[in-house]
């Protein structure tokens, strides 16, 4: 079991260049719990043993059974540009699938006073093998430097339910990852440079005109005005230009705040994020929920958020107006667009060469739908597929043709190992 763990860690290591491991508990020494204590989840007997910390549920009489880390003194500081992740390698052979990680207040073990996150650990048969879970743990603003005083891992089952069975922890690690904020991907967000690069589009076609109007503070605002009686099933859009990040980004959500005014309080308004890969192919179109202005001819401030599940290289921001309740000459004006997202910073992936041999490698087709072909004069000994979070999601058999049909649409890294010890990291896009 430990040999498998070491191989997996070495495979992921090149992708963790912007990570900092604060604590890494591997339970390699029998009887050394490395500071972890029981709180309803029994750790009795020689524990850990054979490389795992083993917790045993006590049934329905014990609610929220948990284990707790050592108390960190000094506190583990968390910089303002960092996020906390807890890596758990475990075999969950208990009766509970819903677990929680808590970030205690300093000097307290009251779960409700700290911050916490729920996550799912599927139930497996005893001795069937470990699974890896990487869970983002919320910052605790009550602690100095947003730091970590003590963490707990517990089953989310109270008295009357509890859990039975055992859970083996092969590793628990506390990791900090650097994140980046992007907030400049909407060009001319306040329309102070005129209308460009904003433009009109729509379905079934353009049924509106774009112009500059006055905002509430006599500055500029952008405006859509219907110039015909619109098709009720259609939409009109005020599109910004496509923004190129010149890298792959992977936010979990995008937030936007803006001011809006319309003469028609029944118009439905959304924001559309169109995501592109590096080759300008559309990855997905993502609409926020829709809102209506609260009153006609009055400026109001709106905030919208959209969960994003795709990695991407380019984005287009668009205001979208549904034409269902629109009339000829209706207008809607926008101003002070502030769109932002954060994502985990990952290292630039390249080719690592060992020895004096130089390897030339190419992959095709790219984008790919079913079979990815790897061309190289050097013999290939292993291929591994990673997502953009650096997680190993597949280790195909050796060979030059890789079946990727089961992968979700997105951007991946093929990590190619050659018989001379060199490693190449090649990015590809799954259609």
Chain segment 321-366, per-residue pLDDT in tens? 999 999 999 999 999 999 999 988 754 444 333 333 344 678 889 8
pLDDT value, residue 275: 96
Whose tokens are 């005014």? That residue is 261
Per-residue pLDDT averaged across 90-106, rounded?
Answer: 97
Residue 233 pLDDT grade (very low, low, confident, very high; cuts 50, 70, 90): confident
CA distances from 311 to 344, 369, 408, 410 (A): 11, 17, 11, 6
Per-residue pLDDT averaged across 378-399, rounded?
Answer: 76
Residue 124 near residue 92, CB atoms below 8 Å: yes
DSSP summary character for residue 52: B
Reported pTM: 0.65
Residue 83 pLDDT grade (very low, low, confident, very high; cuts 50, 70, 90): very high
Cα–Cα distance for residue pair 64/55, rounded to 1 Å: 13
pLDDT value, residue 5: 26
Per-residue pLDDT averaged across 155-181, rounded?
Answer: 95
pLDDT of residue 27 exceeding 90: yes
Whose tokens are 């380019």? That residue is 314
pLDDT value, residue 282: 94
pLDDT value, residue 16: 36
More confident position, 370 or 359: 370
More confident position, 215 or 1: 215
Cα–Cα distance for residue pair 255/249, rounded to 1 Å: 15
pLDDT value, residue 335: 97
pLDDT value, residue 389: 63
pLDDT value, residue 417: 81
pLDDT value, residue 415: 83
pLDDT of residue 238 exceeding 90: yes
Residue 414 pLDDT grade (very low, low, confident, very high; cuts 50, 70, 90): confident
Q: Which residues contact 187 (CB under 8 A, 6 or more apart)?
A: 197, 240, 241, 243
pLDDT value, residue 10: 28
pLDDT value, residue 291: 95
Residue 169 CB burial class (10 angstroms; 0-12, 13-18, ≥19): buried
pLDDT value, residue 24: 94
pLDDT value, residue 121: 95
pLDDT value, residue 364: 87
Residue 191 near residue 198, CB atoms below 8 Å: yes
Beta strands in 42-187 (DSSP E): 53-56, 66-68, 82-94, 98-103, 115-120, 131-137, 151-155, 165-182
pLDDT value, residue 1: 29
Q: Which residues contact 326 (CB under 8 A, 6 or more apart)?
A: 226, 230, 232, 236, 264, 267
Report CA dihedral (326, 327, 328, 332) to the nearest 10 degrees: -40
Per-residue pLDDT averaged across 70-82, rounded?
Answer: 95
Residues in the chain, total: 431
pLDDT value, residue 18: 60
Least confident among 118-132, 192-206, 381-395: 381-395
Residue 232 near residue 267, CB atoms below 8 Å: no
As a 3-state breakdown, the chain gives helix, strand, coil percent values, each rounded to 5, of 5, 50, 45
pLDDT digits (tens, 9 = 90+) for 255-306: 999 999 999 999 999 999 999 998 899 999 999 999 998 899 999 999 999 9
Cα–Cα distance for residue pair 384/396, rounded to 1 Å: 6
Per-residue pLDDT averaged across 395-424, rounded?
Answer: 79
Residue 71 CB burial class (10 angstroms; 0-12, 13-18, ≥19): middle
Which of 235, 244, 243 is CA-nearest to residue 271? 235
Cα–Cα distance for residue pair 96/325, rounded to 1 Å: 49
Whose tokens are 């006073």? That residue is 113
Per-residue pLDDT averaged across 210-232, rounded?
Answer: 93
pLDDT value, residue 360: 66
Residue 72 pLDDT grade (very low, low, confident, very high; cuts 50, 70, 90): very high
Preceding peptide of 67 cis, ω within 30°: no
What long-range pairs does 358-367 form, CB within 8 A, spacing at least 24? 359/418, 359/420, 359/422, 359/424, 361/416, 361/424, 361/426, 362/426, 363/414, 363/426, 363/428, 366/428, 366/429, 367/277, 367/279, 367/281, 367/428, 367/429, 367/430, 367/431
pLDDT value, residue 105: 98
Per-residue pLDDT averaged across 115-138, rounded?
Answer: 93
Cα–Cα distance for residue pair 17/348, rounded to 1 Å: 9
Cα–Cα distance for residue pair 53/46, rounded to 1 Å: 9
pLDDT value, residue 200: 96
Token output for 29: 């020494």
pLDDT value, residue 429: 86
pLDDT value, residue 397: 61
Question: What percentage of the chain exceeds 70 in pLDDT?
Answer: 90
């Amino acid at each position: 079991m430990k040999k498998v763990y070491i191989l997996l860690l070495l495979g992921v290591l090149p992708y963790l260049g912007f990570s900092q491991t604060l604590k890494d508990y591997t339970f390699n020494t029998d009887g050394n719990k490395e500071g972890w204590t029981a709180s309803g989840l029994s750790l009795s007997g020689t524990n850990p043993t054979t490389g795992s910390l083993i917790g045993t549920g006590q049934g329905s009489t014990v609610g929220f059974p948990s284990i707790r880390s050592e108390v960190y003194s000094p506190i583990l500081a968390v910089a303002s540009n960092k996020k906390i992740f807890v890596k758990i390698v475990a075999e969950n052979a208990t009766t509970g699938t819903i677990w929680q990680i808590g970030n205690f207040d300093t000097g307290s073990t009251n779960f409700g006073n700290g911050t916490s996150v729920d996550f799912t650990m599927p139930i497996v048969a005893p001795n069937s093998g470990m699974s890896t879970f990487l869970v983002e743990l919320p910052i605790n603003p009550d602690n100095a430097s947003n730091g970590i005083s003590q963490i707990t891992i517990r089953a989310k089952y109270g008295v009357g339910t509890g859990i039975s069975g055992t859970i083996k922890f092969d590793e628990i690690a506390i990791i900090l990852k650097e994140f980046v904020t992007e907030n400049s991907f909407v060009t001319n967000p306040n329309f102070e440079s005129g209308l460009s690069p904003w433009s009109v589009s729509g379905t079934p076609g353009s049924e509106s005109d774009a112009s500059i109007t006055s905002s509430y503070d006599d500055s500029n605002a952008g405006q859509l005005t219907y110039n015909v009686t619109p098709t009720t099933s259609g939409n009109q859009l005020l599109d910004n230009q496509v923004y190129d990040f010149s890298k792959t980004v992977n936010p979990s959500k995008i937030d936007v705040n803006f001011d809006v005014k319309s003469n028609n309080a029944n118009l439905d308004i959304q924001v559309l994020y169109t995501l592109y890969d590096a080759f300008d192919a559309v990855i997905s179109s993502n609409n926020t929920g829709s809102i209506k202005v609260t009153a006609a001819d009055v400026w109001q401030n709106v905030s919208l958020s959209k969960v994003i599940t795709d990695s991407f290289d380019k984005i287009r921001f668009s205001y979208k107006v549904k034409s269902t309740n629109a009339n000829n000459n209706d207008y809607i004006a926008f101003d002070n667009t502030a769109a932002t997202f954060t994502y985990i910073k990952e290292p630039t992936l390249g080719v690592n060469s060992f020895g004096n041999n130089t390897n030339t490698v190419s992959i095709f087709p790219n984008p790919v739908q079913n079979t990815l072909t790897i061309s190289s004069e050097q013999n290939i000994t292993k291929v591994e597929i990673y997502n953009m979070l650096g997680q190993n999601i597949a280790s195909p058999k050796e060979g030059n043709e890789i079946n990727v049909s089961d992968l979700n649409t997105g951007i991946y890294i093929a990590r190619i190992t050659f018989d001379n010890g060199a490693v190449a990291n090649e990015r590809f896009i799954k259609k």
